[in-house]
Each structure stands twice: as C-alpha cells, then as structure tokens.
Amino acid sequence: MLRIYMGEGVGKTTAAAGLCLRAAAHAKHVRVLQLLKPAVSPEFNLLARQNPCVQVTAANPEIPFFYTLAEAEKQARISETHRAAESFFRAQADDFLLVADEMGGALENGMLTPELLLEWLSDLPADVHVVLTGRYFPESILEKADCISEIQCVRHPYDKGVQALAGLEF
C-alpha cells in the first residue's frame, strides 16, 4: 500500500512519524529515509532510540537547502541521494513500513526521477507499506497511491513573523 502525505501545510513528517509509532507499537519493523533535511527529525530520532523496530537514515545528513548549492555540489548530493534511496527501497525480510520523508522535494529538485521511484516501488513485496511525504508529487506517483492526505495551510504564525519553534515546527 502506498500512502502520500502532501501539501503546503505543516505536519506531513509528523503524520508519518505517527504512523511509524503505531506500527512500532505492534512490533512491526519500520525503516525511515530522510531526504533534504540536514538532520534526522526529532520525532524519528526519538522513535529509533526508544524502539529497536525503528531504523532511521538521513540520505544527506549535512545538506543545506538544495537550492543554495553550487552545481557540482548538487550533482554530488544527487548521487548520494540516489545511492541512499536505492538501498532503502531494497526490501528486507522483516519490513512492514517504509517512510521516505521529503520524497516530493527530492523528485521536484531532480534528485530522483518518478520513473525510478515507480520501479523501486514495483519491486517491493505486496505486504510492505510505503509512506511518501512532500509538498508536491508528479501525477504518475499520485496515480499509484492508495491513500493521499493533503495537508493545507489555512493560517500559520509565520504570517505574523513568528519564527519556527523547537518542539512544535521542528
């Protein structure tokens, strides 16, 4: 089953982490790949520390915002992301849930192609569930999803100049 949490609103990663928590509470094996984030999100870090069923990997643990990189640095990050994602989507015997956080951004930035992602997804056993998060996804990926939740921002403190708060936004 393929689930997508997408949209402009906040909470896509946290929603995915909630699903990981539910799976881990049932002693199901969970693997998380974080893309386009300079460090593993705190909610995934906590889950991995508290439960041996949860494994978290950052594809680019030292990456600043992708758009700020010089072209040579972008190419290096694209290669790193490809290697990490290819390894991530190789099914393990005990996999139940795979979460690729910020996959939409990786696709949008050309770090991975929709065709390659679809190939990896088609190679997974039918009993492995996948969650992808990100703002936008190409139609070819959306067509394959069994569940799509669109998270919309109606109002946000940023609009009033309030900075992101540790423990709430990150």
DSSP 40-91: --HHHHHHHHH-TTEEEEESSTT---GGGS-HHHHHHHHHHHHHHHHHHTS-
pTM across the whole model: 0.92
Write the pLDDT tens digit of every residue in 111-154: 999 999 999 999 999 999 999 999 999 999 999 999 999 999 89
Write the pLDDT tens digit of every residue in 52-62: 999 999 887 66
Residue 167 has a pLDDT of 79
Q: Does 55 or 169 have the greater pLDDT score?
A: 55
Query: What do you get for the CA distance between the two ends of the chain, in Å?
Result: 28
Q: Which CATH superfamily, name and number, covers 2-160?
A: P-loop containing nucleotide triphosphate hydrolases (3.40.50.300)
d(CA 33, CA 59): 7
d(CA 21, CA 162): 30
Residue 64 has a pLDDT of 65
Helix (H) or strand (E) holding 22: helix 12-25
Write the pLDDT tens digit of every residue in 18-77: 999 999 999 999 999 999 876 678 888 899 999 999 999 988 766 667 778 888 888 888
- Mean residue pLDDT across the chain: 91
Q: In which band, very low, low, confident or very high, does the pLDDT at 91 lie, cut at 50, 70 and 90?
A: confident
Q: In which band, very low, low, confident or very high, does the pLDDT at 106 lie, cut at 50, 70 and 90?
A: very high
Average pLDDT, stretch 164-170?
78
